[in-house]
């Protein structure tokens, strides 16, 4: 009797797993067949990149010397001289194009950390990125950004 119950439970588990996988496949095919909204881009595994417009204006800050050499959320060492940034939602390895609204300067950054931990800010940039965008002395600025490349 125990063997029968065990086999029944295993069979139900496998059926549920198959149903879940087929639903995921349907969702992915729907996302690939039409341009997905930006809120879906953080999902890892989405390989085809539709043309993306600039985001709305958001506040960003930068972080540097105090964290230089420490481990980031993805495990690598933080380098304040690299063109990287932190995001709460975007997948590690996502490449962003960030444009300073005040002066029009543009940089490409790779997401390698989690943050910022200030609720009104969307991204934390490395010191090098802040320098190229021209807001190191101010500490914060308004930018627009777009996703250029998603991780494999």
Summarize pLDDT for 42-85 with one digit per residue, the tens. Answer: 444 444 555 578 888 999 999 988 999 999 999 999 999 999 99
User: Which helix or strand (DSSP H or E) is residue 147 part of?
Assistant: strand 140-149
**CA–CA separation, 5 and 19 (whole Å):** 21
**CA–CA separation, 74 and 134 (whole Å):** 27
**CA–CA separation, 127 and 60 (whole Å):** 12
CATH fold of the domain at 58-149: Barwin-like endoglucanases (2.40.40)
Degrees, nearest 5: CA angle 47-43-89: 135
Q: Report residue 8: phi and psi, to 5°.
A: -65, -45
* DSSP designation for 136: T
What per-residue confidence (pLDDT) applies to 40? 46
Residue 135 — pLDDT band, cuts 50, 70, 90? very high
What per-residue confidence (pLDDT) applies to 92? 95
Q: Supply the pTM of this predicted model.
A: 0.66
């Amino acid at each position: 009797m125990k063997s029968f119950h065990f086999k029944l439970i295993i069979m139900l588990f496998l059926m549920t797993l198959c149903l879940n996988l087929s639903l995921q496949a349907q969702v992915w095919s729907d996302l690939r067949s039409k341009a997905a909204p930006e809120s879906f881009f953080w999902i890892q595994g989405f390989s085809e990149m539709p043309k993306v417009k600039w985001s709305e204006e958001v506040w960003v800050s930068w972080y540097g010397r105090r964290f230089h050499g420490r481990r980031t959320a993805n495990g690598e060492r933080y380098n304040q001289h690299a063109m990287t940034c932190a995001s709460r939602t975007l997948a590690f390895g996502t490449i962003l194009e960030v444009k300073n609204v005040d002066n029009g300067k543009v940089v490409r950054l790779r997401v390698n950390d989690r943050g910022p931990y200030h609720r009104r800010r969307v991204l934390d940039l490395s010191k090098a990125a802040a320098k190229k965008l021209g807001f190191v002395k101010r500490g914060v600025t308004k930018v627009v950004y777009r996703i250029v490349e998603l991780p494999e």
